[in-house]
Amino acid sequence: MAARLAGSLLPLLLLLAATFPAGALRFDLLSGHTKCISDDIKVGAMAVGKYHIVAPDDGGSLHSSSSSQQQHQLPDSHRISLRVTSPYGNSLHYSENVQSGNFAFTATEAGDYLACFWAPDHRPPATIAFELDWRSGVSAKDWGTVAKKGQVDMMELELKKLEDTIGSIHEEIFYLRGREEEMQDLNRRTNSRMAWLGFLSLAICLSVAGLQLWHLKNFFERKKLL
Amino acid sequence: MATRRPAAALLVIVALAAVLAAARMADALSVTVTDTECIHEFVPYEGDTVSGNFVVVDHDIFWSSDHPGIDLEVTSPGGNTVHTLKGKSGDKFEFKAPRGGMYKFCFHNPYGAPETVSFYIHVGHIPNEHNLAKDEHLDPINVKIAELKEALESVTAEQKYLKAREARHRHTNESTRKRVMFYTMAEYLAFMAASALQVVYIRRLFSKNVAYNRV
């Protein structure tokens, strides 16, 4: 039974290994330039990121049979540096002149987390293509360990994933509702402030006119013209 | 489960793995577009539905009223343009991939000011009934689970779109509030300055050292 399970898991693992890393986006980076990618993460959410340099051809290089050869053909000088910063400016991850790497953190501040890549200057200027797989929240959970830990059925795992997704959708709706309420509040305050300022403008207008008249009347009386 | 033949169990697991691997979860990322920014995404199968959205989150516009918009162009691996959007400040898009391969999503900013674009791209694949017919051990429930997963992904995509639009709306509101305060204060100051100038001018008209003053 254990051998059969192992035998049936092996092609699954092979299939998973052969598929493209899920959710990875490929960016082009000109040498000497910086590219920053940001993500809005909530407090307490986990975020994991993986990045690696790929050959800048337009095919799915990881899928071609000669992918390993292409990997060797990547010039060693093609290296990128990365710094991940929190919304308040703390540096969470820093790696310099690497070809691949990963980072993980749990968000302690809510806001935009910035991942900035830069490449050192090359003569002649080269374009370095790199792939970044950055997930946060629900998609950051490691389903592989969950499956191994509980000896779960594949279908059950899929349904667990769906359950988690629904939970995150629920939380997101609450968050959006709260934000909408804040915005309505802000709009109402701006509206009342504009009304106030309108009245104040009228009051200033009348008082300045009154002051003018009073001052000029005094001036003319002093000059014995009135 | 123990009574099932190993080959059948194998096929079921392979099919489930295909379902698992095909619908991938991505995240909404933001990138600053100064001139052109291209993002590449791999679409494994022909006929996959590629859906996504993007929203331009304004960069501190103070003097102008609204954002002019950016262009999006989606290019297939063969080089043809699959989808184009021009001058939009946020939109959803969806298309069926004509072939598998690496697709390029290029944002182009025709104006000089750099803008932050928050985008989300999702590639969905549903194993269709054609595969079902080929192998009767393939459980139709896998197709249903894949469809359910796709539906949830579309809800998540919509939420990310709404969140990005809400952020943009908030920026606009903040900018409006600041402009209201600034222009009102400027109006008051201009008013008082004009009035003071008026008084000074009239006083000068009636002052002693003016030639035509009869008094």
Q: Using one digit for the tens of pLDDT, what is the confidence trace for A166-199?
A: 999 999 999 999 999 999 999 999 999 999 999 9
Same domain? A150 vs A49: yes
pLDDT at B39 over 60: yes
CA distance B180 to chain A (A): 7
**B145 part of a folded domain:** yes
Same domain? A132 vs A102: yes
Same domain? A37 vs A102: yes
CA-nearest residue of chain A to B197?
Answer: A212
**B52 part of a folded domain:** yes
Task: Provide the number of structural domains found in chain B.
Answer: 1
Same domain? A43 vs A138: yes
CB contact under 8 A, A186 and B173: yes
Same domain? A126 vs A92: yes
- Which CATH number is A101's domain given? 2.60.120.680
Which residue matches tokens 């290019």? B75
- Residue B40: name the closest of A43, A60, A155, A141 by CA: A60
- Which CATH number is B104's domain given? 2.60.120.680
DSSP assignment, residue B98? S
Mean pLDDT within B118-139: 72
∠B126-B130-B135 over CA atoms, to 5°? Answer: 105
CA distance A4 to chain B (A): 7
Q: From residue A26, give the alpha-carbon distance in Å to each of A29, A132, B100, B102.
A: 10, 6, 16, 9
CB contact under 8 A, A25 and B26: yes
Same domain? A165 vs A139: no
Residues 6+ apart with CB under 8 A from A216: B199, B202
**B187 part of a folded domain:** no
Same domain? A110 vs A163: no
Which residue matches tokens 């989300």? B120
Please tell me which of A61-65, A141-145, B159-163, B209-213 the model is most confident about, judged by mean pLDDT: B159-163
The more confidently predicted of residues A60 and B151 is: B151
Host H or E run for residue B105: strand B101-108
Same domain? A82 vs A162: no
**A101 part of a folded domain:** yes
pLDDT at A61 over 60: no
Q: What is the pLDDT of residues A67-79, one digit of tens each?
A: 444 444 567 778 8
- Residue A200: name the closest of B75, B172, B184, B179 by CA: B184
d(CA A37, CA A115): 5
The more confidently predicted of residues B166 and A126 is: B166
Q: What is the pLDDT of residues A110-161, one digit of tens each?
A: 888 999 998 888 778 888 888 999 888 877 777 777 777 766 788 888 898 8
Same domain? A172 vs A148: no
* Residue B58 contacts residue B115 (beta carbons within 8 Å): yes
Sign of the CA dihedral running A160, A14, A100, B97: negative
Instruction: Show the domain range for A121.
Output: 23-55+75-155
d(CA B90, CA B83): 15
- The model carries a pTM of 0.76
State the amino acid at position A163 in one-letter form. E
**A92 part of a folded domain:** yes
- Option in A20, A135, A168 nearest B44 (CB): A20
Task: Provide the number of structural domains found in chain A.
Answer: 2
| Residue B133 contacts A, CB cutoff 8 Å | no
**B53 part of a folded domain:** yes
pLDDT at B60 over 90: no
**B42 part of a folded domain:** yes
Mean pLDDT within B188-194: 94
**A70 part of a folded domain:** no
The more confidently predicted of residues B7 and A72 is: B7
- Option in A4, A176, A204 nearest B163 (CB): A176
- Option in A16, A193, A211 nearest B17 (CB): A16
**A61 part of a folded domain:** no
**A184 part of a folded domain:** yes
The pLDDT score that the predictor gives to residue A20 is 38
Integer-rounded Cα radius of gyration of chain A: 31
**B198 part of a folded domain:** no
Instruction: Show the domain range for B40.
Output: 30-173
DSSP assignment, residue A111? E
Q: What's the first-to-final CA gap in chain B, in angstroms?
A: 117
**A12 part of a folded domain:** no
CB contact under 8 A, A40 and B30: yes
Sign of the CA dihedral running B135, B139, B140, B146: negative
Same domain? A97 vs A172: no
